[in-house]
Each structure stands twice: as C-alpha cells, then as structure tokens.
Chains A and B, each alone.
Chain A
Amino acid sequence: DAGVTQSPTHLIKTRGQQVTLRCSPKSGHDTVSWYQQALGQGPQFIFQYYEEEERQRGNFPDRFSGHQFPNYSSELNVNALLLGDSALYLCASSFNTGGNYGYTFGSGTRLTVV
C-alpha cells in the first residue's frame, strides 16, 4: 500500500519564479494538508483541502495557493518566490474523521530558492 507520494523530491528555483509541487495521498484518504518546514524548526501548517476546497489556512500570504483534484491528489503553488521560501514542503493526508486518526506524511519536496 503506497503511502503519500510527493514530487519532485528536490527543486532549485530562482527568486521571483513560480513553482508547483505535487502530492498523491495515501490510498483511501480524502483530505490533504500542506506544511512548510524551515531548517531546525517544526512543520508549519499552510492549508488543508477537502472535497476540492480549501478548508483551513495558516498564516501564509496569498502567494501560496493550492488545488485538490477529484482523485484527491493536490498541488501547492508558490508565486514570486523569495529566498525565505527555501524549505522542506510536506504533504499529509488523512481520513476526514476528526481527531481520532493520524495523518500520513510524505517525505517532502526540498525547495531551494537562489
């Protein structure tokens, strides 16, 4: 049973460019969340998608946007990249069952902005 799959694994972009990261959730999961993890810090919540709609959003600017497709996969888009956007971007999937269930995380996409 495949877990959460993220692509690409590594990416180097230039300041000002745009980037799209992709996530396939664990089989049977319907909710996808995205997190940003800076070096030495815990992951920070960006947003969560359920039923193809953004349901929750963390403290991130509008440059960060996303999408969920009918097959539950998801994309994270970041426009006008800044050097500070360099981080590990994690995708997590879950059943929409409230707090009595764990999230499954992917291994992340390492984004470097130069």
Chain B
Amino acid sequence: DAKTTQPNSMESNEEEPVHLPCNHSTISGTDYIHWYRQLPSQGPEYVIHGLTSNVNNRMASLAIAEDRKSSTLILHRATLRDAAVYYCILRDVGWLSGGSNYKLTFGKGTLLTVNP
C-alpha cells in the first residue's frame, strides 16, 4: 500500500483557518487522495477526496500539489467541533479482481486541537 506521512498533532484557534498537510511521495497514477476524520468516541467520517484537481465541499477544501506528492486539507474556519484525528489515505481508483473495492489503510493521523 502506498504510504502517507502526516504530523502527529497540530493546534489551531477557533474561527481561524487550518491547513493539515500530508506527504505521499510514492503515490501512483491510480491513487485517489482521501481524507477522513474521527471525532472522540465515533467512527471515522469521510471528509473529502480528490485525484488531481483541487476540490471543495461543505466541510473542507483539498489542495493537491501539481506533482501529486503532497496534499493539504483546509478547514476554512475551525470550530471546536472540528477537533478530531484527521487521516490522509491513498486509495486505488479501480476494482480488485472479483469486484470489490480497495480497502482503506489508515496511519496514525494528525490530532487537531482547536482552542477557544
């Protein structure tokens, strides 16, 4: 599985933007970049994904480097509810033989603390 590298922890203030970095220098051409977050006592929650172009949704923005070897998850205005562990994951775009989806391989992620 292609690997990602994230800082262990980051800290932000409420209502300020947060930029969470992820390095994935061994990414292949068929890997999507997925971000999930896990709030305390909950299962992971899908945040956003992209392949080559920058992506925006109601939760966040994803900025992908031109060479795709790194990406940044952007929370435009952090709230206390955004405090969570954020996981950057590479996931192959295709199907495995037998017709199943590629699994998610989680690292330890980045623990985001948001200060009031």
Once the chains bind, are B103 and A99 in contact (CB under 8 Å)?
A: no
Once the chains bind, are A90 and B102 in contact (CB under 8 Å)?
A: no
- Binary CB contact string for chain B from 62 to 96 against chain A (1 if under 8 A, 0 otherwise): 00000000000000000000000101000111111
Complex Cα distance A97/B32, Å?
A: 13
In the complex, chain B residues whose CB is within 8 Å of the CB of A43? 44, 104, 106
B interface residues, tally (CB under 8 Å): 33
Once the chains bind, are B103 and A48 in contact (CB under 8 Å)?
A: yes
Query: Is chain B's interface secondary structure helix, strand, loop, or mixed overall?
Result: loop
Of A31, A35, A45, A100, which is within 8 A of B32 by CB? A100
- Binary CB contact string for chain A from 32 to 76 against chain B (1 if under 8 A, 0 otherwise): 010100000111110010110101101000000000000000000
Once the chains bind, are A90 and B43 in contact (CB under 8 Å)?
A: yes
Shortest beta-carbon contacts, A-B, top 8? A42-B106, A55-B100, A105-B43, A102-B46, A99-B93, A99-B32, A50-B100, A99-B91
Chain A residues near B (Cβ < 8 Å): 4, 31, 33, 35, 41-45, 48, 50-51, 53, 55-56, 58, 90, 92, 94, 96-108
9 contacts between A and B (CB under 8 A): A31-B100, A42-B106, A50-B101, A90-B43, A97-B101, A99-B34, A99-B102, A100-B93, A108-B43
Give, as a whole number of angstroms, the nearest-CB distance from B45 to chain A.
7
- Specify which of B42, B100, B101 lies most central, judged by the most chain A CB atoms within 10 Å of its CB: B101
Interface flag for B7 (CB, 8 Å): no
Interface flag for B3 (CB, 8 Å): no
Once the chains bind, are A102 and B95 in contact (CB under 8 Å)?
A: no
Give, as a whole number of angstroms, the nearest-CB distance from A74 to chain B.
13
In the complex, chain B residues whose CB is within 8 Å of the CB of A33? 101, 103-104
Once the chains bind, are B99 and A51 in contact (CB under 8 Å)?
A: yes
Once the chains bind, are A48 and B101 in contact (CB under 8 Å)?
A: yes
Of B36, B85, B98, B101, which is within 8 A of A99 by CB? B101
Complex Cα distance A90/B108, Å?
A: 16
Complex Cα distance A102/B106, Å?
A: 14
